[in-house]
Structure 1
Amino acid sequence: MTPYLVSKFQKATLSALIRESFDADFADIFSKPQVSYLFKYLKELKAEGVLLEPDYIDREFLEDFSNYYVKRFGNDGYVCSRLHFFKCPISHNDMDELLLGRPDAKLTAEYLQENYLGFIVVKPLTKTFVGKTCLRVVGEPNLGPGVRKKIARRYDVSLFGIDLYVDSIAFQEQDKVVAACATTAVWTALHGFPGRDVRSVTSCSQITTTALDLEDSSGNGFPNLELSNEQIQRALDAEGLRYHTTQLRERSSDWFADYVAAHVDSNLPIILTGMVYGLNRAPERKFDVVARGGHAITLLGYDFRDGVRSIYMHDDRLGPYARAQIISLKKLLGKDTPPGMADTWVIAISRRSDTGVWEKKAHEFLLPEVSVALAAKKARLAYTYAHTTAQRINVEVDKWMSTLSHVLGIDNQPTSHTIQLVTVSEARQGVLAFDASSQLGSSLVAGEYRLEVTETILERWEQDKIKFLTSHIARWQWQIDFLWGDHRTFRILLDATDIPSGNAVSGVFIFDLIYGRITLGAFKEIMTKLDPPEQPHFYNAFLRSLKRHADDYAGNLQKKYGALRAPNYLKDDEVSDTGEGKNRTTKSFYDPSEKRLRSMFSAISKDRYRNLIWAIGKDGILYVAEDITKPVVLGHPSMTGLQPARIAGEMWCEFDGKKHIWHVNSESGRYSRDYSTPSVYLENAIRKISSIFPTEKFVLGGQRPRAEEAPANTPIKDNIATDPQSNSTA
């Protein structure tokens, strides 16, 4: 037995190694379009070396063999072979040294991995021998949502104990017995689905058997000619997957392009079915359109740069990541377009030339009929709802920004959006990594209009970010990012597990503190102008979400008095056995008080070297208590009940010769820490304190006077007795 064979990657050697796999006289290898395609694909990957692993057991073919081929008289067995491709030349001697573990071996496992391009399984079938194929993705890397992406997953490979891997999506040609094109499309989609282990994907024969078993009127399972759209869906049902089916003839090409980008950006493959038509040039230079029958493919990528809308698909008749173009039939056929079909869009399929370049002229096209987009089991809302919601919001943003740009004299930019289905973890990671601090000080100036990012705006944004990250929301979300020109303005999350009649908006997050706030300003004047409830979008839920945010009491408290802070630390003497604060002088205020602060704390108001402590509670309550230092120190947590609070500090009373004035600061080491703009919160707190005690004067204070700073023998003046504004009840 030959343990393995290596060779230089060439057309002749590739053909010879395939023949060598089973010592069989296959038909002309390169007459198969799949082999020709794979050869050109590998040439583009700059393959130089190929290794034949002659005896390989492929789990999926083993299942196909046991389900059908084992009963075939004269079958060629279940043992496959596998071809491995490298971007570097390799030799038998180098491989032997590596396998023998020689310390001076030229080849290393790391070097092989660096140059590994993937593998092709060769099945022991005379005609349809191209089995599971995983090759490195060709072309540039992914360029971001709405621009360019191809779905790929990691496949681990063990080559004689050498651990390798390749990022790809498995491809194979249909064998016309256990796997028609629809079955192969389902198989490929299962490999591309992110929630499925690639080592446990159901075999083609089992997919076909399941689909036919679930069909009430099904006949013999094999040979299988095709699966209907209903059978495709039943096969996915048996896999425990959710999917969303769309009739594509009702959709525009623009909608379809957005649909493809949204799902591919979400790493979700799409099964596409329709009719294939061949294009032949007639002698009179007219197109001869020939119907070739129904077909199914799996969409796995797109490239929408330079005004060309290309998609990438696994087409079992061609190969992996075959390129096609979304195009109108009028543009494809010109004057030969059938009457009434000028606006019809199709997917034009091209071949690779011998040099590996995609040919400009299509040789056939697919007229799409139905798409089946795979999704997570709990993702009930289809892409349609996210798309229509985004479009509806864009209508208002576009009108608003167009008018505003004209008024301000700035260039108007096109509005757009991108959509992805993400987990809550992925949504939060994208927000967590975003830092808006670099926008501090940036401004938009247009005539007399000026909008600047201040520290207050930045701090409020940071608080909103934390709320966005910590809110309890469902695992699956449709993530919609809105753009105005090149500015990514804001993001909406739609609960993909909700129902069409629900309030699916999970959150709104601003990226651009200038343009994001401007674009959301479009909805301030139309908060109550709701759409009819039967509309297939969540625009009304979006408006209600903005209104809740604007009217949110807790959010308002946070903006005015700072985010909640737990006590920085607690002292044992501040906590009672019941877990409550021990400061018995504490008083709480929600509304204006009938009594004056000086009458409630008369001893403090008489002594400028004694003070009160105060804090704004989590629900907006004002706490005031004596600052007790003897026999034990009872600080701010001893009056708030040891609960989280907002801005907090000290108050003391001084007489200026005419009236008593309360000085207020935010010197609380337990609560008033690490605020970016504590002065703003202190000013708001002073206004609140003044509203509760309207007959008294409160001003911004610095450090309170200390008793040890008083001159010797300085008498303490009775502030109440000499206060001109005092009354008999003071």
Structure 2
Amino acid sequence: MVTPIAFDVLPYSPDALAVVLSNEWVDAASTRRKRHFHYFAEYLGSGGESLHAATIVVEKPYLSQSFLDDYADYYARGFRDYPRTCTRVHFFRHAFARADLLAALADPAVGTELWASYLGYVVVKPLPARQIGATLLRPYPATTANRRHYPVGRSYGVNLLGKQLEITTLIFQEQDSNVSACATTALWMAFHRTAGLFQTPLPSPYQITAAARTLFNRHGRNFPSAGLDQTQIGEAIQAVGLVTELRTYRQRWEEWPDEERSVEEQLREQLRGAQGFLYAYLRLGLPILLFVLLDEDPQQGHLVTVTGYRLAATPVPASPEFSLVAHAIDRLYAHDDQMGPYARYSFANDGTLVTPWPADANWATAKRWKTHRRASLYSMFVPITAQVRITYEQVYRQVALFQQLLSPDTVPAAEDVVWDVYLALSNDYKDELRRTRPVTEAPLERLLTTALPKYVWVARALLQQTPILELVFDATDLHTAFYCLLINVFTPLRASLRRALAQARFRQQLLRAPGFDARFLTLLVRDLDLVVPNLPPV
């Protein structure tokens, strides 16, 4: 028997949104009391940064693969006969009626503006709670200043009544406390990206919870799930064939190493370090699992998946050691299963995070929230391939050595230099060189024809946003090796640095600097086509 697909076309409004996000167990009034409703109403609404939805298309029945996986593993085994089909709710920026949609479906020459305005969809699951299923929504619009960046995304194909659409985003869903909690849901979202990036498996939330296995640090049971601890998160990442970069941070109530500086000052410094770490891995498109303590309460832990960031319009703030592009991050965009996709987390001056959660516990009365709950950064997880062996901190330390090159003798306004440090695919790195052309002719040709490993660390020095020098590291090398592959001096710096390195006094000054490896000098001399005797091979 063939089941027809029923669909409705509705003008977008908050009232209509509450109705279409409901099901037979959760009515519109109950939906309105949920934090997800308030988040989606703002995200899809007509505010300045919002998506400005104008039309809703409701499609049912819909077979959601992510729900079917959990249904087969969990819901189908119960006595209660929950349906296995869902409702899918699509959103468009363009206003249209049912007849316009039918015309656009029937004639490829019709409806160009309609299809171009597609914003994505939300799946509504047939459950008595936690009904927000697989969700694909476009991120916030890009700004003219190109301040918003969403590197953690992938292309998803969408079939709407036979029309093939495409949307670039990262999948989202509300946690289902029967088969998962916030940690499992955050991992599920992250694995949607790593599956394409590293060709690793894409387990369902049920399978992720089952793979976590260990119960060493908590009581309870796997299903229904009360959540995962840090050990279990690492187990789940390892189960898909990846390794974990884990960083854990000090809390305000703990003892701090420097008694001469305030705790707030040391918290701000810790947060600056975290910004560098986040940015370095996000640039590759790696999702970062951010574990925060709401209101700095150890019992209020929450895990979100960071998918993007915003750079401040103001200059990069000065740093005690040296400045990074990452220090300009003033907002993170995170898939927060308790709120919605691209939830905004900001950095406060006291070293804490400003969450999108309203301080008022009554979500229904907290519209256009004026005050937000604070959180402290507890830990970060990066699910990454074992091929990447060199860490961000190792590269950071090498960059610190190169600050001595950028003196007033070689670089005017050396104090304004900002470093861009990030992990990249070598092919993407070369594509960037082709587009930006920081050097030309023979130096550029040499870079483009140099064999590089699949993953490289790039540390690029910028002066007024112009590249002047960069170090390229083999991200796959051994920790005990000399893993710097290239030093590239770009056009604005080539002449002055060539003159400086031609002087024996300047070279000796570099070699005497603490921690400076003579092989760096070999790479510099090679890039600048100088002839200097008695340099070590690389």
2:345 pairs with one of 324, 343, 346? 324
Structure 1 residues 225-240: aligned runs within 5 Å: 225-240=226-241
The answer on 1:72 being equivalent to 2:73 is no
Q: For 1:192 and 1:143, how far apart are their aligned partners in 2?
A: 26
Decide whether aligned partners of structure 1 residues 320 and 97 sit closer, same or farther in structure 2, where only a CA change above 3 A counts: same
Spell out, residue by residue over 1:316-364, the C-alpha distance to the aligned partner (whole angstroms, 9 max, x if none).
11111111112244xxxxxxxxxxxxxxx221113589999975632x1
Counterpart residue number, 1:297:
304
**1: CA distance, partners of 2:498 / 2:33:** 58
Alignment of structure 1 residues 22-101 onto 2, 5 Å:
22=24, 25=27, 28-43=30-45, 44-99=50-105, 101=106
Equivalents in 1 of 2:499, 2:190: separation in Å? 38
8 Å CA contact 2:9–2:58 kept in 1: the answer is: yes
Bigger drift between 520-529 and 493-502 goes to: 520-529
Cα distance in 1, alignment partners of residues 357 and 215 from structure 2: 37
Partner Cα distance (2:119, 2:386) in 1: 33
Give, in whole Å, the separation in 2 of the partners of 1:265 and 1:126. 39
- State the distance in 2 between where 1:546 and 1:92 align: 69
2:260 aligned with 1:254, yes or no?
no
* 1:415/1:349 CA distance change after superposition, 3 Å: same
Alignment of structure 1 residues 371-520 onto 2, 5 Å: 371-394=380-403, 396-398=404-406, 400-401=407-408, 411=413, 413-435=415-437, 462-514=441-493, 517-518=496-497
Other-structure match for 1:161: 162
Task: State the match for 2:522 in structure 1.
Answer: 547
SS at match of 1:433: helix
Matched AA of 2:342: Y
Between 1 and 2, higher relative CO (CA 8 Å, sep ≥ 6) is seen in: 2
1:515-537 Cα shifts (integer Å, max 9, x gaps): 685499487343422645xxxxx
| Gap change, CA 1:435 and 1:270, over 3 Å in 2 | closer
Shift of 1:413: 4.4
Give the number of equivalent residue pairs: 485
In structure 1, how many angstroms separate the alpha carbons of the residues matched to 2:495 and 2:344?
37
Contact 1:416 1:482 in 2 (8 A): yes
Structure 1 CA distance for aligned equivalents of residues 297 and 60 of structure 2: 41
Distance in 1 separating the partners of 2:123 and 2:100: 23
Give the Cα–Cα distance (whole angstroms) in 1 for the partners of residues 499 and 15 of structure 2: 63
Q: Per-residue displacement from partner, 1:236-267 (whole Å, max 9, x unpaired)?
A: 11111233111222971111122222222221
1:544: Cα distance to partner?
A: 0.8
1:15 counterpart (14, 18, 26): 18
Q: 1:59 to 1:527 in 2, by over 3 A?
A: same
Matched-pair contact (CA < 8 Å) for 2:309–2:333: yes
Task: Tell me if structure 2 keeps the 8 A contact 1:487–1:515.
Answer: no
Q: Which runs of 5+ in 2 are unaligned?
A: 252-268, 315-328, 533-538
Q: How far does the alpha carbon of each residue in 1:623-681 deviate from its partner, in whole angstroms, 9 at most, with x for none?
A: xxxxxxxxxxxxxxxxxxxxxxxxxxxxxxxxxxxxxxxxxxxxxxxxxxxxxxxxxxx
- SS of the aligned residue for 1:131 comes to strand
1:5 aligns with 2:15: no
The one-letter code of the counterpart of 1:31 is R
Contact 1:4 1:54 (C-alpha < 8 Å) held by counterparts: yes
Give the equivalent residue in structure 1 for 2:136: 134
On the 8 A contact 2:5/2:59 being kept in 1, the answer is no
* Equivalent position SS for 1:349: strand
CA shift for structure 1 position 192: 3.2
Shift of 1:219: 6.3
Segments of 5+ residues of structure 1 without an aligned counterpart are 278-288, 330-344, 438-460, 533-538, 560-730
- Structure 1 residues 605-620: aligned runs within 5 Å: none
Q: Which residue of 1 aligns with 2:371?
A: 361
Per the alignment, in what secondary structure is the counterpart of residue 309 of structure 1?
strand
How far 1:411 moved relative to its partner?
5.0
- Aligned residue runs from structure 1 range 526-605, under 5 A: 526-529=509-512, 531-532=514-515, 540=517, 543-550=518-525
Secondary structure of the corresponding residue to residue 69 of structure 2:
helix
Give the superposition deviation at 1:274. Answer: 3.1
Aligned amino acid, residue 497 of structure 1 = T
* Residues 168/436 of structure 1: CA separation in 2 closer, same or farther (3 Å cut): closer
Structure 2 residue identity aligned to 1:390: V
Partner of residue 703, structure 1: none
TM-score with structure 2 setting the length? 0.81
State the distance in 1 between where 2:397 and 2:194 align. Answer: 25
The aligned counterpart of 1:177 is 178
CA distance in structure 1 between the aligned counterparts of 2:13 and 2:75, rounded to whole angstroms:
32
CA distance in 2, matches of 1:65, 1:421: 38
Between the aligned partners of 2:342 and 2:169, the Cα distance in structure 1 is: 10
Q: Is the 8 A contact 1:350 1:361 kept in 2?
A: no
Would the alpha carbon gap of residues 123 and 478 (structure 1) be closer, same or farther in structure 2, given more than 3 Å must change? same
CA offset digits 1:10-69 (Å, max 9, x no partner)? 1111222233x5586465211110121012101121100000111111111111112211
Instruction: State percent identity of aligned pairs.
Output: 24
1:220 equivalent in alignment to 2:221: yes
Residues 23 and 168 (structure 1 numbering): CA distance in 2 closer, same or farther, change over 3 Å? Answer: same
Matching residue's letter, 1:482: A
Larger radius of gyration between Structure 1 and Structure 2: 1
Distance across 2 between alignment mates of 1:387 and 1:356: 42
- Does residue 265 (structure 1) correspond to residue 283 (structure 2)? The answer is yes
Q: Distance in 1 between matches of 2:370 and 2:490?
A: 40
Aligned partners of 2:157 and 2:493: how far apart in 1? 47
Amino acid at match of 2:208: I
Specify the code of the residue in structure 1 equivalent to 2:371. K
Quickly say closer, same or farther: Cα 1:518–1:36, change in 2 above 3 A.
same
Cα distance change on mapping 1:368 and 1:164 into 2, 3 Å: same
Quote the offset at 1:2 in angstroms.
6.2
Distance in 2, matches of 1:118 and 1:158, equals: 11
Aligned-residue offset at 1:477: 0.1
- Verify the 8 A CA contact 1:141 1:149 in the aligned structure 2: no
Of 495-504 and 384-393, the range deviating more from structure 2: 384-393
Query: 2:82 touches 2:127 (CA, 8 Å); kept in 1?
Result: yes
Q: Aligned AA for 1:379?
A: V
**Distance in 2 between residues matched to 1:23 and 1:357, nearest whole Å:** 25
CA drift of 1:292 comes to 5.3
Q: Secondary structure at the match of 1:127?
A: coil
- Amino acid of the structure 1 residue aligned with 2:11: K
Task: For 1:80 and 1:200, locate their aligned partners in 2 and report how far apart those are by CA, in whole Å.
Answer: 24
Residue 150 of structure 1: aligned partner: 150
Contact 1:347–1:365 (Cα < 8 Å) also in 2 = yes
Aligned counterpart, 2:258: none
CA distance in 1, matches of 2:174, 2:165: 24
Between the aligned partners of 2:7 and 2:204, the Cα distance in structure 1 is 27
Change beyond 3 A, Cα 1:484–1:518: farther
Match of 1:283 in 2: none
Q: Match for 1:312 among 292, 316, 333?
A: 333
Q: Is the 8 A contact 1:297 1:313 kept in 2?
A: yes
Q: Name the SS for the 1:500 alignment partner.
A: coil
In the alignment, is the contact (CA less than 8 A) between 1:155 and 1:198 conserved in 2?
no
Sort the Cα spacing of 1:217 and 1:255 in 2 relative to 1 into closer, same or farther, 3 A.
Answer: closer
Quote how far apart the aligned CAs of 1:428 are: 1.6
Pair 372,466 (structure 1): closer, same or farther in 2 beyond 3 Å = same
Over 3 Å counting, the alpha-carbon distance change for 1:421 and 1:177 in structure 2 is same
The amino acid of 1:384's aligned partner reads: E
